[in-house]
Structure 1
Amino acid sequence: MSVLNTFDVSECLSFLCFITFSLIFCFFMLFTSSVLGGKSSSRYKHTPFESGIAPVGDTCLHFSVKFYLVAMFFVIFDVEALYLYIWSVSIIETGWTGFLEAFIFILFLLLSLFYLIRIQALKWVNK
């Protein structure tokens, strides 16, 4: 059976209807909130935090690039741990093929972690 035989027009039409109604609903909600939403105006409306207190000091906070780097590493490894959790739930269905794929995936994870350690990307000490 080829891919063209399994193509169903009704599925595409229902997906198109879903997207269309979702967009219409979003625009309707935005329009309704702009019409019915409360509007206030006072002399303190456009001051910082609407409190009337003048800002003190510099608002620019400087973070180390290492912070963002470690945050990105955390997100990457966290998503990969989620993938491994999903694999462990379906281990019976995947069988030995799934086990081999997970083993290769874990191997790539370990190689990437060793690479990060080798290039000293996880060290906080300045040179």
Structure 2
Amino acid sequence: MSMSTSTEVIAHHWAFAIFLIVAIGLCCLMLVGGWFLGGRARARHKNTPFESGIDSVGTARLRLSAKFYLVAMFFVIFDVEALYLFAWSTSIRESGWVGFVEAAIFILVLLAGLVYLVRIGALDWTPARSRRERINPENSISNRQQ
């Protein structure tokens, strides 16, 4: 077994090197072209956000509830699950029953996680006061009358 010389490696990968150089060159060309052809507005309104012709009111830095981030994480988790299942479904004939059992275990683990999230209330968006009223409706009515 002989070691590959550098000329053999270059000869073997020349097409990829040319592709990489052309891709980087095109990116640089488009950035420079946009810089030359772009407008040079230095007015007061240059960096203000434009919202359908209406002036903005207040700040755009709002604090969002952590539940929004939880929903985003759940979406990513179940989206990745869909990707794995799609890849599994394309090779179902080759994987046979072993692949089916593996996919079933994968789905059951994610389903157990979803049941856990529902049980701890991670997907419940109602305020705590509404939850108490839903659990004990007679107590909440008597508390309001007092």
TM normalised by structure 2 equals 0.62
* 1:101 CA drift (Å): 1.9
* 1:28 CA drift (Å): 1.6
1:14/1:111 CA distance change after superposition, 3 Å: farther
2:28 corresponding residue in structure 1: 27
1:117 corresponding residue in structure 2: 118
Query: Partners in 2 of 1:11 and 1:107 — Cα distance?
Result: 46
2:92 corresponding residue in structure 1: 91
Query: Partners in 1 of 2:117 and 2:50 — Cα distance?
Result: 46
* 1:73 CA drift (Å): 0.3
The number of aligned residues is: 120
The answer (yes or no) to whether the contact 1:91–1:98 under 8 Å persists in 2 is: yes
User: 1:22-71: CA deviations, max 9, x gaps?
Assistant: 22221121112212x13243645426246997643333333211012112
The answer (yes or no) to whether the contact 2:49–2:56 under 8 Å persists in 1 is: no
User: 1:52-109: CA deviations, max 9, x gaps?
Assistant: 9764333333321101211210121022123212322321122122212212211221
* Counterpart code for 1:38: G
Quote the RMSD (CA, aligned, Å). 3.2
Larger gyration radius, structure 1 or structure 2: 2
1:56 corresponding residue in structure 2: 57
The percent identity for this pair of structures is 47
Query: Partners in 2 of 1:50 and 1:85 — Cα distance?
Result: 41
1:81 corresponding residue in structure 2: 82
* 1:123 CA drift (Å): 2.0
1:94/1:16 CA distance change after superposition, 3 Å: farther
Query: Partners in 2 of 1:39 and 1:71 — Cα distance?
Result: 37
The answer on 1:66 being equivalent to 2:67 is: yes
2:39 corresponding residue in structure 1: 39
Unaligned runs of 5+ in 2: 129-146
Query: Partners in 1 of 2:93 and 2:64 — Cα distance?
Result: 46
